[in-house]
């Protein structure tokens, strides 16, 4: 009903394989894109810089990880380290005088190179053992950054990002930072959607589902596993650089710690493995929900209805947050993306009940 299918028939393969064959989906996407473009004029600087900006960048990171974990099926518990490599590479390159556009490329390539090195472990091990290999990457990269002052920036271990321009626009104002992040997130989104409908994406899915079966039908698992690590780490590295330049503006090793890796995995899992919209929802859930809960509780607390200590007060959001994660996983193990999908399917045939897929 709402996602009307009547009048949509495909006479050519190209139209059937379009990203959004249903008119209603196209309209929703267009509306969201227009809203995103207008955000600097609609939102106050608080919501623009503290909610929209980090949400977009973390979404790009979750999308990069979902390419590896959801589509190619290779678990990665050290993705924050990949982003750290990108962030530190881009800062050192721009400090050496390289233009920011090239530094982003360099950040991606360096992250992809080192990511592939550890990804090579994936050729021999699977599942939990791969988790261990990528965990090793997390700790090795962190250790290297902390112990090599030339990388971390000396005793204070803080590097400020230099002033740069991106496509002739100085990255200074909130608007410029926001649009750079938006551009990158849109690029990553389109890329992942296109990978999913290309032969590359299908090969990754084949490797994910059974690598020796993939090998039997002529997909080289070695090549595609490495390619998945390369592509995902490249995107992760650039995202790390965007995070450093557009959001933090100063990088320290703690910003890319193990807990950040876990948050990224949580974003991908809560959102829905391999789903693009899931990355958006998952990043919003993991990143913004604790903030919203904290502020909500602080708002309620100022009425002094129940006398509770601040210590307890600050732990209540954690309890609620934990309960919500368990709730989402119990209610819909396939993640927030599947919940949206269920709603969409319900309205697809509304007022009738049964859907086909």
Partner 1 sequence: MKRLLKGLAGVAGAVALAVGGTASADKEPIKFALLQDFTAVYTFVTSEYNQGQQDYLRLINETGGVEWHPIETIIRDTANEPQRGLEAYNRARREGAVLVDFFSTPVSRAAVNRVLRDEVVMITALHGRGDASHGETFPFVFPMMATYWSQATLLADYIDRHQGGLANKRIALVHIDSPFGREPLPVLQELAQQKGFQLRSFGYPSPGTEQSATWSDVRRYRPDHVIIWGAGGGQQVSVREAIRNGIRPENILSVVWLSETDARNVGGNHMNGVKRFEAVAFGQEPAVIQDILTHVIEPGLGAGPAANVGSSYYNIGVATMAVAVEAARLAIGEFGAPLTGDKLRRGFEMIEGFDARGLMPPVTITATDHQGGGYGRVSQWNGQTWEPLTHWTNAFQDIVWYEIEKDARGFRDGR
Near partner 1 in 23-82, by CB under 8 A: 44-46, 49-51, 54
Residues 139-158 that bind partner 1 (CB under 8 A): 143, 146-147, 152-158
DSSP state of 354: -
Residue 165: its H or E element? strand 165-166
Number of residues near partner 1 (by CB under 8 A): 47
CA geometry: angle 93, 232, 30, nearest 5 deg: 100
Separation CA 114–CA 82 (nearest Å): 8
Q: How far is the CB of 254 from partner 1 (least distance, A)?
A: 4
Instruction: Report whether the peptide linkage leading into residue 351 is cis, meaning its omega lies within 30 degrees of zero.
Output: yes
Residue 165 interacts with partner 1 (CB under 8 A): yes or no: no
Strands 159-160 and 165-166: unpaired
Asked whether position 287 contacts partner 1 by CB under 8 A, the answer is yes
Write down the least CB distance from residue 170 to partner 1, Å: 14
Comparing CB distances to partner 1, the nearer of 39 and 122 is 39
Among 144, 215, 220, 294, binds partner 1 (CB under 8 A): 294
Whether the ω angle into residue 25 lies within 30 degrees of 0, i.e. cis, is no
The residue range among 63-71, 186-194, 267-275, 301-309 that interacts with partner 1, by the rule CB under 8 A, is 301-309
User: Residue 170 interacts with partner 1 (CB under 8 A)?
Assistant: no
Cβ(111)–Cβ(234) below 8 Å: yes
Residue nearer to partner 1 on the CB measure, 75 or 293? 293
Instruction: Write the Ramachandran bin of 127: left for phi over 0, alpha for psi from -120 to 50, otherwise beta.
Output: left
- Residue 273 · residue 335 · CB < 8 Å: yes
Task: List residues bridging with 166 in a β-sheet.
Answer: 169
CA angle, 110 as apex, 107 and 116 as ends, to 5°?
A: 135
| Among 190, 191, 214, residue whose Cα is nearest residue 203 | 214
Q: Of residues 234-253, which lie at the interface with partner 1 (CB under 8 A)?
A: 247-250, 252-253
By rule CB under 8 A, what string of x and - marks binding of each residue 209-238 to partner 1?
------------------------------
Q: Tell me the window of 60-68, 77-85, 303-311, 330-338 that interacts with partner 1 (CB under 8 A).
A: 303-311
Site for partner 1 in 259-278 (CB under 8 A): none
* Lookup: tokens for 110: 């360096």
**Beta strand ranges found along 241-332 (DSSP E):** 250-251
Among 255, 261, 264, 281, contact with partner 1 (rule: CB under 8 A): 255
For partner 1, what does the binding mask look like between residues 98 and 137, x meaning CB under 8 A? ----------------------------------------
What does the alpha-carbon distance between residue 208 and residue 113 come to, in Å, rounded to a whole number? 22
* Dist CA 6 CA 175 (whole Å): 41
Which residue, 106 or 153, is less far from partner 1 as judged by CB? 153
Are the C-beta atoms of 63 and 186 separated by less than 8 Å? no
Query: In the complex, what is the shortest distance from the CB of residue 301 to partner 1, in angstroms, rounded to a whole number?
Result: 9
In the bound state with partner 1, the residue whose beta carbon lies nearer, of 31 and 149, is 149
Q: List Cα–Cα distances, 314 to 162, 255, 295, 299, 310, in angstroms.
A: 36, 22, 10, 12, 6
Name the residue among 60, 123, 121 with its Cα closest to residue 86: 60
Q: Closest CB to partner 1 among 220 and 294?
A: 294
Nearer to partner 1 by Cβ, of 230 and 256: the residue is 256
Question: In the complex with partner 1, which residue's Cβ is closer, 242 or 287?
Answer: 287
Minimum distance of partner 1 from residue 164's CB (angstroms)? 12
Residues that bind partner 1 (CB under 8 A): 44-46, 49-51, 54, 95, 143, 146-147, 152-160, 162-163, 247-250, 252-255, 287, 290-291, 294-295, 298-299, 302-304, 309-311, 314-315, 317-318
């Amino acid at each position: 009903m709402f996602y009307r299918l009547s009048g949509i028939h495909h006479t050519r393969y190209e139209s059937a394989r379009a990203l959004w064959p249903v008119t209603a989906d196209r309209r929703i996407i267009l509306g969201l894109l227009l809203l995103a473009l207008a955000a600097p004029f609609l939102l106050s600087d608080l919501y623009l810089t503290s909610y929209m900006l980090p949400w977009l960048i973390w979404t790009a990171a979750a999308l990069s990880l979902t390419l590896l974990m959801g589509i190619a099926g290779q678990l990665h518990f050290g993705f924050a380290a990949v982003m750290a490599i990108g962030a530190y590479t881009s800062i050192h390159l721009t400090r050496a005088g390289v233009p920011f556009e090239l530094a982003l490329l360099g950040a991606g390539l360096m992250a992809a190179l080192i990511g592939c090195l550890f990804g090579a472990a994936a050729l021999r091990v699977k599942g939990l053992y791969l988790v261990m290999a990528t965990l090793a990457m997390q700790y090795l990269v962190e250790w290297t950054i902390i112990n090599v002052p030339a990388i971390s920036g000396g005793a204070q271990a803080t590097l400020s990002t230099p002033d740069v321009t991106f496509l002739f626009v100085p990255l200074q104002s909130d608007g410029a930072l926001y649009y750079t992040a938006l551009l990158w997130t849109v690029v990553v989104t389109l890329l992942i959607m296109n990978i999913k409908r290309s032969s590359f994406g299908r090969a990754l899915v084949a490797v994910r589902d059974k690598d020796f079966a993939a090998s039997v039908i002529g997909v080289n698992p070695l090549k595609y596993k490495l390619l998945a690590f390369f592509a995902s780490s490249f995107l992760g590295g650039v995202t790390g650089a965007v995070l450093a330049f557009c959001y933090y503006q100063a990088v320290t090793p703690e910003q890319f710690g193990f807990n950040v890796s876990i948050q990224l995995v949580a974003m991908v899992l809560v959102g829905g493995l391999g789903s693009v919209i899931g990355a958006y929802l998952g990043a919003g859930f993991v990143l913004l929900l604790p903030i919203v809960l904290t502020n909500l509780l602080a708002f309620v607390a100022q009425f002094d209805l129940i006398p509770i200590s601040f210590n307890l007060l600050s732990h209540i959001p954690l309890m609620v947050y934990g309960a919500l994660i368990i709730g989402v996983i119990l209610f819909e193990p396939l993640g927030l993306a599947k919940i949206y999908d269920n709603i969409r399917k319900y309205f697809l045939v509304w007022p009738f009940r049964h859907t086909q897929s």
